[in-house]
Structure 1
Amino acid sequence: MLSPYIVNLLENKYGKKIRYPSDCENISREIADTLKESVSSNTLKRLLGFIKDGVQTPRLSTLDIIANYIGFDDWDMLLQHISEPIISSKYIRRNEMIRSRTLKKGEKVRFEYSPGRVVVVEHQEEWLFTVVESINSKLQIGDSVEIEIFLRDRPLYIYNVMRNNENIGDLIAGKISGITAMTVIKVE
């Protein structure tokens, strides 16, 4: 499913809330008419949660078309836009954001994203964390990672993933659905 943030962008373009499966059919037609590209109404229904089964991860070409419909060149540009959020208390509620610099050494952040991925990281200093639990994620226990900020319903940008003293690069968790849940586990 698409993250609520991306759904909101889609609704803004569509001009009203997406509440019914027929809205997906209308958006599919609008995409075909304006972009001369096609995204099936069933794909949109799946991405918007009206259909629960089927393909979990859509094709990048499908995501590119949706991003283009919303007003971005492609999916990567949309993700880049999302990675530069307005970090202001008037736009983001307190329980939807965790800033790494506000955590104490030893505190943990547990976050979840689709489909069925759960990760717990332990804060070391500044942006530095160690992965202490990982279920169905590319991250492994013992990985050292850098995370500046956790935002609910947005992709999580994880930098400089260090595994066995080797930098294996950056990672985006929840690229499509965003982070669906997150909690801070306080140090005792």
Structure 2
Amino acid sequence: MNKYAPEIATLRMDIEHEVKRKIRTPYDFEFLSGAIWERLHENISPTTLKRLWGYIDGADTTRRTTLCLLAQFLGYADWEAYLASLATRTDIESAAFEGEGVHIDDLQPGDRVEVTWLPNRRCVFRYEGEARFTVVEAEHSKLQVGDTFETAAFLIGQPMYLDNLCHADQPPTADGMSYVAGSKHGLHTVVRLIDA
């Protein structure tokens, strides 16, 4: 399953809630790997966990065996049992977008959103509708003016996950790339810009 899927984002939040800490630093991934070993006597390497959390680059998909172990860590029989439980939970929608930020439901086409993240990155995006954005300003970022992407929300303290990223200086492709910004510390600020 794609590691940017909402079900996996919820899984990450549930695991952080279970261990009562945000998983953000190399030590946190070592800690979580050890906690999984203590509870299940199964090994998931810190590197695999870092990829799943977007801390380091790697495969965009996660193996079912890894997802099953993480679901078992939370007390479920397997990944499918965890997925089945999501259908009956009422906290998911609000938990998935917990925290300050901007969600696409709050935007109209033409609205602009400014985001910053460490060390000194700043971008302004224009909402085009249908979850699509265009980069209109970019400072110290791999994103460039004219790039387009899709996302559902920009949340302070959370990584910025962009899907179907198409660079302005490259021919469009059927499927753009996925991109994560602020994977270690999340977004620093998120501001909806109001025209004077």
TM-score (norm 1): 0.58
1: CA distance, partners of 2:31 / 2:104: 32
Q: After superposition, what is the alpha-carbon deviation per residue over 1:63-107, rounded to whole angstroms, capped at 9, x for unaligned?
A: 7535524659311233489xxx94317x835xx131113201111
What is the aligned-residue RMSD (CA, Å)? 3.8
**Residue identity opposite 1:68 in structure 2:** S
Q: Is residue 149 of structure 2 the alignment partner of residue 145 of structure 1? A: yes
8 Å CA contact 1:131, 1:144 repeated in 2: yes
1:76 aligns with 2:51: yes
Please state whether the residue corresponding to 2:122 is helix, strand or coil.
Answer: strand
Per the alignment, in what secondary structure is the counterpart of residue 53 of structure 2?
helix
Shift, 1:152, TM fit: 1.3
- Please show how residues 1-188 of structure 1 align to structure 2 within 5 Å: 9=16, 13=19, 64-69=29-34, 71=36, 73=44, 74-79=49-54, 86-88=92-94, 92-93=98-99, 96-163=100-167, 164-167=170-173, 168-187=176-195
Whole-Å Cα distance in 2 between the matches of residues 104 and 69 of structure 1? 45
Q: Matched residues, percent identical?
A: 23
Aligned length: 136
Residue segments in structure 2 that go unaligned for 5+ positions in a row: 1-11, 37-42, 55-61, 68-90
Asked whether the 8 Å contact 1:67–1:78 carries over to 2, the reply is: no
Moved over 6 A (4+): none
- 2:39 counterpart residue number: none
Gaps of 5+ in 1: 18-43, 48-57
Q: Which amino acid aligns with 2:171?
A: N
Which deviations, in whole Å up to 9, do the C-alpha atoms of 1:124-157 show, x marking residues without a partner?
1121111011111110001011111112111111
How far apart are residue 187 of structure 1 and its match?
4.7
Distance in 1 (alpha carbons) for counterparts of 2:116 and 2:30: 27
The 3 A distance-change label for structure 1 pair 70 and 108 is farther
Give distance in 2, aligned partners of 1:125 and 1:114: 28
Scaled by the length of structure 2, the TM-score of the pair is: 0.55
